[in-house]
Amino acid sequence: MVEDEDYRRKVKIALVAIVLLASLAVFASFVAFAYYCYIRNQVSKRRRNSHKVEDAANLNEKKASASQMWLVLIGIAPGSPERPQPVKENMQLFAVEQQSQALEAHAAPFASFRVTGNDKDSILICFASKTINVGQVTSKMHVIELGAQLDFK
């Protein structure tokens, strides 16, 4: 009889442990879903309240860095009559935790690069832009380190 009661007690403990772990798994799933909804809502708000990329006639690309902390929207719109260019490219770069920045640029991939002496990778963005000055078109390629924390000692 003692062995039978001991076995039942172990079964009850195992059942409670299983129910507890299952409850934790459901709770963790709920928290992950709530965080996903929060981030999606923040990105949506920033997109609605952002600069004029939404004015572009066609939103071409949406890209995110590997860490999902930096995002870029790229769109095109018809060029203005005073500028001899058939298409105007617009790019909006923003971080989930910071304000956005609108740029007149296109073709913006993200990359990771570890600078010698740094203990973690840097997030880079590369984009191209065209400017017209006195009828001359100048094309430039920019490579920018995002979220750099300058620490001059």
Q: What is the mean pLDDT of the chain?
A: 76
* C-alpha radius of gyration, the chain, whole number: 26
Q: Residue 53 has what pLDDT?
A: 47
Mean pLDDT of 11-26: 91
Phi, psi of 122 (to 5 degrees): -100, 145
Q: Residue 84 has what pLDDT?
A: 59
User: 17 to each of 26, 31, 91, how far by Cα in Å?
Assistant: 14, 21, 52
Domain ranges of the chain: 50-146
- What does the alpha-carbon distance between residue 95 and residue 97 come to, in Å, rounded to a whole number? 5
Q: Residue 48 has what pLDDT?
A: 58
- What count of other Cβ atoms lies within 10 Å of the Cβ of residue 76? 16
pLDDT in tens, 121-150: 888 888 887 777 777 778 888 888 886 665
What confidence tier does 16 reach under pLDDT thresholds 50, 70, 90? very high
pLDDT in tens, 59-89: 777 777 877 778 777 777 776 666 656 667 7
pTM of the full predicted structure?
A: 0.47
Compute the CA torsion angle 111, 68, 107, 120 (nearest 10 deg): -20
